[in-house]
Amino acid sequence: MVEQCTYEKYEFKKKLETLKSKSGRGTELISLYIPSDKQISDVSNHLREEHGQASNIKSKLTRTNVQGALESLLAKLRYLNKVPENGIVYFTGAVDIGANKTSMESEVLIPPEPITVYKYHCNSTFYLEPLEEMLKECSTYGLLVLDLREATVGTLIGKQIEVVRHLHSTVPGKQRKGGQSAHRFEQLRRIAIHDFYKRIGDAASEKFLEIEPSEFRGILIGGHSPTKEEFNEGEFLHYELQKKVLGLFDTGYTDESGFSELINAAEDVLQGADLIKQKKDIEAFFRELATDSGKISYGEDIVRANLEINAVDVLLLSEDLRSERETIKCSVCEYENKWTRRWKPGEVVPLAGNCPKCGSALEVTDVTDIVGEFSELADKGNARVAFISTDFDKGSQLMIAFGGIAAILRYSTGV
């Protein structure tokens, strides 16, 4: 039940934040975006050209760093047989690590969505905008637009609209043919409408019931009045889905273009739905806290202990939680230790520093991301993971007062 999609988003966001916090001392950090249709040999040729031009850079240090970064990239490209389907992005350069020192760093990212434009960028910071736009949204909505002639069923995942089914009706128009009694005509028409609503309800239910519950935010219904109201009041959707209808909205079209109209009309509802779900989760936590039921826990160690005995029902993690546990070793003497580093989004990630015994540089030998570790533990114990933003009062309390980690328990564990 882990919101895998949400965790992937967290991981990707964290990677971008880390890259964003880095800067060079001169114009010497290289970002290289290679789309899948680009020839690797063309890229190598381009980098060799840049290497030649870099010899004109006045500052000797910057020149050496830029050329060093280009050489490192060229070496990497030699091992790349084929550009992945979504493309590949390299970040390389001499990063300022303070105390008048730089360190040559590189990072390779396979983007979650295809990159379309080849880009070579050399500056004092990494170029991240195209990736920042890809931060994956996983909230899923069921979409339905209908009138008496046609209906379209689809989904909205993040910003992506997908059309699933298109249905046509056999409902006759309002003009009856000569010879038919008005009463009989109206009766047949009502039957045809009812059948059409039923077909729509079945098609929509079939699709919407497949949506991952932890990502499912609700259903939007669009079309003309009073058709959509009549459909909704008739409860033609599966009873579990009927509760998930977020609202009815007027749209002029009932085909795919009706979906765009529907999403525009429902903008406020869409923005609110995600937050409403988060608020419900955090309010449940505060309710248990107030009643002193013992069915909650918070703080890294205690929540971990409860996860390990499968006592957690809902794991609440702040979206702003940035924390890693690391094993650090001295590169010279015997010193070895573990520490947890914490930082805020957008802050420079703190470094382990120097050996307290001999003053040499410390090496990080093992890194565990806390959010990753906790998500995995939750998955094993069938706990639901809820990521809570700090954009509202109780959400920021989770971060400030409870360290960003809390849990609603299945029973009181006394831990």
Positions in the binding site for Zn ion (CB under 5 A): 330, 332-333, 335, 355, 357-358, 360
Residue with Cβ nearer Zn ion (40 or 352): 352
Q: What is the nearest approach in angstroms of Zn ion to the Cβ of residue 356?
A: 8
Smallest separation (angstroms) from Zn ion to the CB of 354: 8
Q: Report in angstroms how near the CB of residue 364 gets to Zn ion at its nearest.
A: 14
Q: Give the nearer residue to Zn ion in terms of CB position, either 103 or 337.
A: 337
Least separation in angstroms between CB 333 and Zn ion: 3
Least separation in angstroms between CB 328 and Zn ion: 10
Q: How far is the CB of 360 from Zn ion (least distance, A)?
A: 5
Residue at token pair 């008496």: 148
Cβ closest to Zn ion, residue 252 vs residue 353:
353
Compare residues 148 and 330 and give the one whose CB is closer to Zn ion: 330
Residue placing its CB nearer to Zn ion in the complex, 108 or 332:
332
Three-state DSSP string of the chain: CCCHHHHHHHHHHHHHHHHHCCECCCCCEEEEEECCCCCHHHHHHHHHHHHHHHCCCCCHHHHHHHHHHHHHHHHHHHCCCCCCCCCEEEEEEEEEEECCEEEEEEEEECCCCCCCCCEEEEECECCCHHHHCCCCCCCEEEEEEECCCEEEEEEEECCEEEEEEEEECCCCCCCCCCCCCHHHHHHHHHHHHHHHHHHHHHHHHHHHCCCCCCCEEEEEEEECCCHHHHHHHCCCCCHHHHCCEEEEEECCCCCHHHHHHHHHHCHHHHHHHHHHHHHHHHHHHHHHHHHCCCCEEECHHHHHHHHHCCCEEEEEEECCCEEEEEEEEECCCCCEEEEEEEECCCCCCCCCCECCCCCCEEEEEEEEEHHHHHHHHHHHCCCEEEEECCCCHHHHHHHHHHCCEEEEECCCCCC
Cβ–Cβ < 8 Å for 402, 298: yes
Q: Which one, 286 or 335, has the nearer CB to Zn ion?
A: 335
Kindly state the smallest distance separating residue 365's Cβ from Zn ion, in Å.
14
| Residue placing its CB nearer to Zn ion in the complex, 210 or 336 | 336
**Identity of the residue, 271 or 331, whose beta carbon is nearer to Zn ion in the bound complex:** 331
* Distance in Å, CB of 331 to Zn ion, minimum: 7
CB 91 within 8 A of CB 30: yes
Least distance in Å: CB of 352 to Zn ion? Answer: 12
Q: Which is nearer to Zn ion, 59 or 354 (CB)?
A: 354
Backbone phi, then psi, for 271, in 5-degree steps?
Answer: -65, -40
Residue 84 or 353: which CB sits closer to Zn ion?
353
Taking the CA of residue 78 as centre, how many other CA atoms within 13 Å lie in the half-sphere pointing to its CB? 7
**Beta-ladder partners of 31:** 91, 121
Closer residue to Zn ion in complex, CB, 357/380: 357
- Closest contact distance (angstroms) between CB of 330 and Zn ion is 3
In angstroms, what is the minimal distance from the CB of 3 to Zn ion? 42
Query: How far, in Å, CA of 330 to CA of 332, rounded?
Result: 5
Q: What sign has the CA pseudo-torsion 56, 59, 62, 64? A: positive
